[in-house]
Structure 1
């Protein structure tokens, strides 16, 4: 099955935005990589900003699919399901050459100069944290974490730590920061 022109652009854009960032991504380079003529870009996207926002939406579809696959697996304990999501993310980062998280990369690059991107990316992180919170709440109810634990705070902290580890992993092109962060967090969460 062949991908539509728009989907080919989004797929190419996802990897290129990870590698080059927003400001260094040229439309001509994107079109050449996707093998698509220039007029096709403007048929599907108003401008580069609209394109990047749609790439973020595409990325979030992948994130939600990963969350569904891991967090929805009710035969595993909730903390194992949460860790499963981050381990799957780590494997994707490895496949991508440890380029890290698209949201984190674009957020660092654009949040200081674009309210549109800052708001969109923060909304995406809020969605992810909400999904993690639900699973951590289940862990609290089961007694896997302290009854006094705040699952919402724990989910936010987990996401913040992950994003920092993803940056360090990108800098080093090495999974060690991701592995160390996961081990530390889940060892700590179990004793909270």
Structure 2
């Protein structure tokens, strides 16, 4: 029966297997990724893989957790530091620069997994939904800070704004990946930022 690693060596082995699977899934999708490919990429044995994962389904769920830690948790610190329009613009710039560095070939790993698995793997769909919920909560906390600083009007629904901002980010990433053009993402983020700025309290608008 699969079990969690009890030693540092075991943790490194499990992490190596998950990282290898994540890389393959990111490049070619979950369906096209075989366990034999994962073993070759990770330089691991079947006994090592099955020591930690019952089957491919369990491994894919571990990949989702790994990508969530990489993508969502990876943005948490930056989002937590945003309390101005300049800070928001800097985060948007980071997203665009990251896609430029990757030649727009990756998009959002979580979004890609959701597109592939949401209709065929209920457990994976729920995992991915929780990942998006975590990301939306981080965005809402950031928007709450902007509202508390007077940059967004007091009656703004930051929960809904967080969801719409996340949807815009995801859509922009998908368009950039499909067109291999980071300016598609830039256009989406500019629109999102412009809408958020339009929610400044009346009669005046807060300065950046």
Q: TM-score normalised to the size of structure 2?
A: 0.81
Counterpart of 2:157 in structure 1 is 150
- Tell me whether 36-45 or 114-123 shows the greater mean CA deviation: 36-45
Counterpart of 2:21 in structure 1 is 13
Q: 1:63 to 1:39 in 2, by over 3 A?
A: same
Query: Displacement, 1:4?
Result: 1.6
- CA deviations over 1:87-136 (Å, ceiling 9, x no partner): 43444444444211111111111111221111111111011101110110
Counterpart of 2:55 in structure 1 is 47
State the superposition RMSD in angstroms.
Answer: 2.2
Counterpart of 2:3 in structure 1 is none
Query: Which sections of structure 1, spanning at least 5 residues, go unmatched?
Result: none
Q: 1:69 to 1:44 in 2, by over 3 A?
A: same
Give the 5 Å matches for 1:55-94. 55-73=63-81, 77-94=83-100
- CA deviations over 1:25-81 (Å, ceiling 9, x no partner): 1111121122222222111211111111111111222234433321233xx534444
Q: For the pair shown, which has the larger CA radius of gyration, 1 or 2?
A: 2
Q: Which structure carries more helix by proportion?
A: 1
Aligned length: 190
Query: Does the 8 Å contact 2:83/2:142 carry over to 1?
Result: no
Query: Displacement, 1:177?
Result: 1.4
Query: 1 CA distance for matches of 2:129 and 2:184?
Result: 23
Q: 1:118 to 1:33 in 2, by over 3 A?
A: same
